Chains A and B, each alone.
Chain A
């Protein structure tokens, strides 16, 4: 299992310039729209020809600008799951799945289709046309059709974006199981951090055509290695900070100093802490260095969780006069009615990260 990509491609005024090498089975590519992540998939599949570089999958060279190798789409043997699934509207579900299997003997072809229909829970709709089935079923057909040809690499381009939220979670779970079963490389593109986290083991973060970070997903989410990574993984509290010592930061904007678990190496940069790691605590006279008195500037209620916008050290003057965002459950929010301002927050040093800029 080996994956090596090093490509450059100019398009629409910006350049995709990515080098990525991995032995992992499932890689999630996380990036905002327009960051070039779909373009990378298209280069690998051969839909788009890179300006220069190399693409080698499992020892097979798909593209090499120096050696002038550029395999055609049909010779690359990739499974591509398109954002809109791209099912053949003129064929039934069975015919869609069987499309890539023409080289097999008739009986084997039929058996393989039957197995796939069964496996992807499509048994009773095999004779229908794509427009007659639901979005979730269409996704299953597209996946079954792609894995039918036993590709070396599976490329998934925003596979859940066409589904409604309710179906999305369900299909994510299903997809996760299917991918574990599939013996091969999977590259999965998304702009949704939750999808990336749930489906893949390793995540590559893209930003304007460049690879920001590549690494194990928990590491990336816990202590993001760059400002862009911190933003794209959904960190809501990011602020300028300066180093005091190996494990201490000064945050001038908030008027505080913070203890960190992470070793601080650079003198200036940004510190971040996730909104759900900011804890409201009951001890009014907490003496810990990472405890702070806060006032509520504003709040916004979700169905189950509430976001509080807090100001550290003094009373806010307006709704947007706040420092830090904190996300708590509705029960925790209701508990606050028993207390009075100022409240106390505790920032666990283990969840404070620092990136230099």
Chain B
């Protein structure tokens, strides 16, 4: 029986990597999106282009870029070497790959949501004495919440499905860096179609659940706020 020998470690690795990458992207993407929403300077177009790039480039290019920067001879890699740290082919590298690849989804989607917030509402908060921190957390983020929730769900799903860049920078060390998408690839190429199928079903269920839960939660929230007045 396959099931007895079935190694579930890719699931735990995938979930660990995806959760950490999503949490980091949540804060990183939100804050950069907010900064850029308020920035009206001439560099906006360029900065936005650079931040969106990982979305349109092949993941292998992203992986190559990470290797250049963080690899043994890269500037960041050299710096980390001083402390005896090498993150290439560790699960940290998988987290890094997931962050870079999924970042544009978090950033772009939440920026779209921030741009929809009525500027008068933000000004109202400021005239009432609110600090920028309070304007952000108590007004901008809650008002843009449906968009931000969608951004987070997409980021989670994209991180979970990350393959190309992860394979390049983290490899496929079973029990260490082998995530579900990588397990599917090697199971398929090794002819273990049943194993591959199980992983396909698992990743299918997780991704769909996250997106569907997000949808229902948002429509519930919307109803709560909008019921019939009068």
Contacts and interface: CB of A to CB of B under 8 A. Distances in A.
Interface residues on B, range: 20 to 34
Contacts of A128: 229
A84 B120 CA distance: 8
A74 B129 contact: yes
B143 A89 contact: yes
16 contacts: A74-B130, A76-B127, A78-B127, A80-B124, A80-B127, A86-B118, A87-B124, A88-B121, A88-B143, A89-B225, A90-B142, A90-B143, A99-B130, A132-B225, A132-B226, A132-B227
For A46, A74, A91, which residue has the most chain B Cβ atoms within 10 angstroms?
A: A74
Contacts of A99: 125, 128, 130, 138
B121 A129 contact: no
Given A91-B142, A146-B128, 16 more contacts: A46-B127, A74-B126, A74-B127, A74-B128, A74-B130, A82-B124, A88-B124, A88-B143, A90-B139, A90-B145, A99-B125, A99-B130, A100-B128, A103-B129, A131-B226, A132-B226
B215 interface: no
Interface in B97-139: 118, 120-121, 123-131, 134, 138-139
Contact of B139 (A88, A132, A133, A134): A88
Interface residues of A, number: 33
Interface string A73-104: 11011111011101111110000000110110
A149 interface: yes
Contacts of A103: 129
A87 B226 CA distance: 14
A102 B126 CA distance: 13
A311 interface: no
Interface in B182-230: 225-230
A132 B229 contact: yes
A45 interface: yes
A132 B229 CA distance: 4
A134 B230 CA distance: 7
Interface string A123-150: 0000011011110000000000110010
B226 A82 contact: no
B123 A47 contact: yes
B159 to A, nearest CB: 27
Contacts of B127: 45-47, 73-74, 76, 78-80, 146
A146 B118 CA distance: 18
A86 B121 contact: yes
A234 B204 CA distance: 69
A131 B225 contact: yes
A212 B128 CA distance: 32
A149 B129 contact: yes
B208 to A, nearest CB: 28
A73 B229 contact: no
Contacts of B118: 84, 86
A344 B172 CA distance: 102
Contacts of A47: 123, 127
A164 B58 CA distance: 55
Contacts of B125: 88, 99
A90 B126 CA distance: 16
Contacts of A82: 120, 123-124
